[in-house]
Structure 1
């Protein structure tokens, strides 16, 4: 029997675990993070989050297995929109971590935050992430050519969004 995934709000005590998670090459490869994140950077992210930011962690046996940072747009004309970024520890992939984080994020957006549109950007070659996003109703809206530099090469990204069901 596999261990249960528990999603909760990220806390200050998670700072080092989040730094370690995002320092893994398998993680930062699929994000816009740069290698070797400092503890101080993560400490600032946790203690001084931007307005509208909510951070969730997924834990298995009290160990951080994944992280999702949700940001509600602060511009009044876009206050119905949220964006997010997510990372899952390689040792915990294919165990429902991403789905648990996504389910809780969608619940927050749909039922608590008055979010009508959730947007994301994902590298075009990140097939596992694309599958999870499609599972939760995200649709492709466009492609950013040479969107970001990754390991010395430019890579494309997809823009995806999910509209709240009415």
Structure 2
């Protein structure tokens, strides 16, 4: 991890940077978000998150350039967490995703006692899949025509990491 990347909790004042980040073409391509979402809408979504949601941001030189939200499930799946993340297009490849993943795995293992962390990722997002595999996530299955993205249905890969 690069020393110039700070990982911290997301704050309400991060909404503008997060809106910019999630409106980037590659960042929005890799998520279930839609482009052209306003700062006000991001603020509303951030305020409406359920209890048990942990949010991290990756910061370089005071600017939020990555975000990762992890949600602990409930009841009989209280041992499971799910997450989604994105990195600003201009900062991709600089270690932001690695820094966020490291923080999330530590939070899941050392503080939340999660046995399983699961995610979905587009089958054509090879860079993200490689990152998740470096952190111990394994491929579990393909969800065909999972979502509509950029004018076509796309498949998603389910992946999970079981705490050793």
TM-score class, shorter: over 0.9
Partner of 1:122: 121
| Residues 104 and 3 of structure 1, relative CA distance in 2, 3 Å threshold | closer
Contact kept, 8 Å, 1:69 with 1:85, in 2: the verdict is yes
Shift of 1:82: 0.3
Shift of 1:94: 1.1
Calculate the TM-score normalised by the size of structure 2. Answer: 0.96
Contact kept, 8 Å, 1:146 with 1:155, in 2: the verdict is yes
Partner of 2:26: 26
Calculate the TM-score normalised by the size of structure 1. Answer: 0.95
What are the ranges of 5 or more consecutive residues in structure 2 without an aligned counterpart?
none
Runs of 4+ in 1 over 3 A off after TM superposition: none
Shift of 1:108: 0.3
List aligned pairs for 1:1-166, cutoff 5 A: 4-74=4-74, 76-165=75-164
Shift of 1:44: 1.6
Deviation per residue, 1:19-49 (Å, 9 max, x gap): 1111111111111111111222211222232
Shift of 1:160: 0.2
